Chains A and B, each alone.
Chain A
């Protein structure tokens, strides 16, 4: 009888301890990686490669996501706002939604799928083929060589991507607004800029930087801790994308509370 009652409690206890251990491990991993960003030697070439991978090669998917999101947002807002004769608010709704929320979150989710998976697979493969041990025997700290440049690159690249996504998203809304919904171009743009505040842009960019850090952190951590061959690398890749996506959405709420709580 006691076992029936205690077994579920033991399982909950084990799961809780496991979760605490994982959080602690990720935190220590992040601290160590960040500490390498301020201690020489610095691997500028690796940072640049990672930056190009995150910023340049993610640009098409982020741009397409932003343009279509802006277009859909304008259309959906119109169908809703037209019922209340509030069509004039569409431009401001599009820009505020994009800059504050959808730009950073959607760009981050797209990058998480692309870059988080790529980092986890690359580092995971290096782990299971002894390449990370080889780095150590070649007097090279793997955290400094593999993790720190990727963390820095993603943290810098994502705000830039989000900036582009914001502009393209607004352009998507403007296209639909002027070509399909009959807005005057100048009026649409004036409405867009009248409602946009510097704080909106900055909050979006700060979110993007945090999301970039999280994507790179989860990608590199899952890859670094992977084991067990191809299956382990596959699992690490999936975990990286799932964990970073969930953390992006959770942190989006937390950051929104911090920036915009009344």
Chain B
């Protein structure tokens, strides 16, 4: 049952292994409603698997994942699928559908659920594209005709078009130059604030983490090892977090170099 103090997302003891490799080793995480949470961690630390477990793209081996106090892992399949109506996701590479023009990508969910007609979808796409700073003419282009930054904006437009109350961002600034990265971060903050949504982002980019996150969590070897204000990154007092945030070679995190 959801109360005012119930976290929007609550994970307890979530474990996931792929064959002999344990990727999540008991993740405990709370994300408050309306909060912008950034999950940090090195490559292979389990960041993407964590959000894929919340999204239902990967089934955890053990643990509890609650959204608004409801254990989503225990929900019947159909009810669990319907949770997707409240969730938006921006994938690292955009994951736009090549076979559809931009406007259909943006309004995909609304069209798939027959919530609007195709004519209405075109108008809606123009409106949402404007919110991410793209012109109406972009709507008729194919995703392959867009630059990396424009693809991210379209992916952001798609993530917010159905007005979700939880939005996930997977490495939103990866592959972008610093200026475009800052632009995308600004758009993310604006859109999330406008929707009043809860945002969970995973990133390696510390500048981006400080811009889009209110709170941050550090995941290392499949466990959350620190949570705190995103503004404290780099001077958190946790040696692991500070080493990661400051990009220091020496420290408790030893990167394994494979030959």
> Is there contact, CB below 8 Å, between B95 and A41?
no
Asked if A41 contacts B114 (CB within 8 A), the reply is: yes
Given contacts A139-B82, A139-B84, contact A133 B57 (CB under 8 A): yes
Out of B55, B92, B93, B98, name the residue touching A136 (CB < 8 Å): B55
Known A130-B95, A131-B95: A138·B114 in contact at CB below 8 Å: no
Which B-chain residue is minimally distant from A145 (CB atoms)?
A: B112
B residues less than 8 Å from A134 (CB atoms): 89, 91, 95-97
Q: Are B97 and A137 in contact (CB under 8 A)?
A: no
Enumerate chain A residues within 8 angstroms of B108, measured Cβ to Cβ. 138, 140
Contact status B95-A139, CB under 8 Å: no
A76 is an interface residue with CB less than 8 A from chain B: no
Contact A129 B93 (CB under 8 A): yes
Instruction: Contact check, A137 vs B81: say whether CB atoms are below 8 A apart.
Output: no
- The reply on A97 being an interface residue by CB < 8 A is no
In the assembled complex, B34 has its CB within 8 A of some CB on chain A: no
Within 8 A of B (CB), among A127-157: 129-131, 133-134, 136-141, 145
User: How near does chain B come to A240, taking the closest CB pair, in angstroms?
Assistant: 19
Give which listed residue, B93, B99, B113, contacts A139 with CB less than 8 A: B113
By a CB distance below 8 angstroms, the chain B residues around A145 are 112
Say which residue of B52, B82, B92, B109 sits within 8 Å of A138 (CB atoms). B109
- Given known pairs A130-B91, A131-B95, A131-B97, the reply for A136 and B57 (CB within 8 Å) is yes
B143 to chain A, nearest CB (A): 10
Interface positions of B from 132 to 160, Cβ below 8 Å from A: 158
B99 partner residues in chain A, CB cutoff 8 A: 122
Query: Are A137 and B113 in touch, CB under 8 angstroms?
Result: no
With CB as the reference atom, state the residue of chain B lying closest to A46.
Answer: B99
The answer, among A122, A126, A131, A138, for a CB contact under 8 Å with B112, is A138
How would residues 18 to 59 of chain B score, 1 for a CB under 8 Å from any chain A CB and 0 otherwise? 000000000000000000000000000000000010011100
Inter-subunit contact A136/B112 (CB<8 Å)? no
Give chain A residues whose Cβ lies under 8 Å from the Cβ of B57.
Answer: 133, 136-137
A138 to B168, CA, bound (A): 12
Q: How far, in Å, is B83 (CB) from chain A's closest CB?
A: 9
- Asked if B88 CB lies within 8 Å of chain A CBs, one says yes
Shortest beta-carbon distance, B199 to chain A, in Å? 15
Q: Does the CB pair A139–B85 fall under 8 Å?
A: yes
Total chain A interface residues with beta-carbon distance under 8 A:
16
Q: A133 to chain B: which residues have CB within 8 Å?
A: 52, 55, 57, 91, 95
Asked whether B216 is an interface residue with its Cβ less than 8 Å from the other chain, the reply is no
In the complex, A122 Cα to B89 Cα: how many Å? 22
Report if B87 contacts A (CB, 8 A). yes
| A138 in contact with B91 (CB, 8 Å) | no
Closest chain B residue to A132, Cβ basis? B95
Interface centre among A133, A134, A136 (most CB of B within 10 A): A134
Which residues, 107 to 121 on B, are CB-close (under 8 Å) to A?
108-109, 112-114
Q: How far is the CA of A140 from the CA of B81 in the complex (A)?
A: 8
CA distance A131 to B19 in the complex (A): 24
Query: Complex: how many Å from CA A134 to CA B95?
Result: 6
* Docked CA distance A55–B114 (Å): 28
The answer for the CA separation of A202 and B50 in the assembled complex, in Å, is: 53
Nearest residue, chain A, Cβ from B82:
A139
Q: Shortest beta-carbon distance, B118 to chain A, in Å? A: 10
Measured between beta carbons, the chain A residues less than 8 angstroms from B82 are 139
Residues of A within 8 A of B91 (CB): 130, 133-134
In the assembled complex, the Cα of A134 lies from the Cα of B88 at a distance in Å of 10
Are the C-beta atoms of B92 and A137 separated by less than 8 Å?
no
| Complex Cα–Cα for A134 and B99 (A) | 14
Complex Cα spacing A139 to B56, Å: 11
Question: CA A137 – CA B97 in complex, angstroms?
Answer: 13
B112 — which chain A residues lie within 8 A by C-beta?
41, 138-140, 145
Question: Which 4 A-B residue pairs are closest in the complex by CB-CB distance?
Answer: A130-B95, A134-B95, A139-B84, A137-B89
Additional 8 contacts, C-beta under 8 A, given A133-B55, A137-B84, A139-B81 = A133-B95, A134-B97, A138-B109, A139-B84, A139-B85, A139-B112, A140-B108, A140-B109
Can you list 17 A-B pairs, Cβ within 8 angstroms, ordered by A? A41-B114, A122-B99, A130-B91, A130-B95, A131-B95, A133-B91, A136-B57, A136-B84, A137-B84, A137-B89, A138-B109, A138-B112, A139-B81, A139-B109, A140-B108, A140-B109, A145-B112
Which A positions have Cβ atoms within 8 angstroms of B? 41, 122, 125-126, 129-131, 133-134, 136-141, 145
